[in-house]
Amino acid sequence: MSELVVTFTEEQIAAYAEASGDHNPIHLDAEFARSVGLPGVIAHGMLQMGLLARVAGEQGRLRRLSCRFAGMVRPGDTVVFRGEEQGGRVQLSASNQDGESVVTKATAELLP
């Protein structure tokens, strides 16, 4: 089993926004995020998916990755990303410090 523990920060989320070009204000502006019904800034789903890819298996073997985003990740949240290979497939999970899943139905297929 592979595991990665990440505590998300506003700086990390902003750096991802810059690198990805996704400057949606729900990821960068807490006041705006609250104005649209969110509890504040939230991390990009694709940032979380990229971290899932890190626990999916050996670099260069990832063929396909899929997941369903099930919960919001906010600055200060600590998320544990886990992957367990079963043949050419990897069962993935991510849960926050409260044990709540932030992604579900997460799997990866690996190249041989």
CATH number at residue 72: 3.10.129.10
Read off the tokens for 58.
């050996």
Question: Which own/partner contact pairs does 95-102 have at CB distance under 8 Å and 24+ positions apart?
Answer: 96/71, 100/71, 101/70, 101/71, 102/48, 102/69, 102/70, 102/71, 102/72, 102/73
Each of the 112 residues of the chain gets a pLDDT tens digit; together they read 899 999 999 999 999 999 999 999 999 999 999 999 999 999 999 999 999 999 998 888 999 999 999 999 999 999 999 999 988 899 999 999 999 999 999 999 999 8
**Structural domain for 34, as ranges:** 2-110
Q: Please report the pLDDT score of residue 50 as a whole number.
A: 95
Count structural domains, the chain.
1
Q: What is the pLDDT of residue 29?
A: 98
Q: Which residues have CB under 8 Å from 93's CB, separation 6+? A: 81, 82, 83, 101, 103, 106
pLDDT score at 17: 98
Q: What is the pLDDT of residue 74?
A: 98
Give the three-state DSSP class for 76: coil
Q: Are 46 and 22 in contact (CB under 8 A)?
A: yes
For residue 28, what are its two tokens? Answer: 């960068």
**Contact criterion met (CB below 8 Å) for 85 and 57:** yes
pTM above 0.85, yes or no: yes
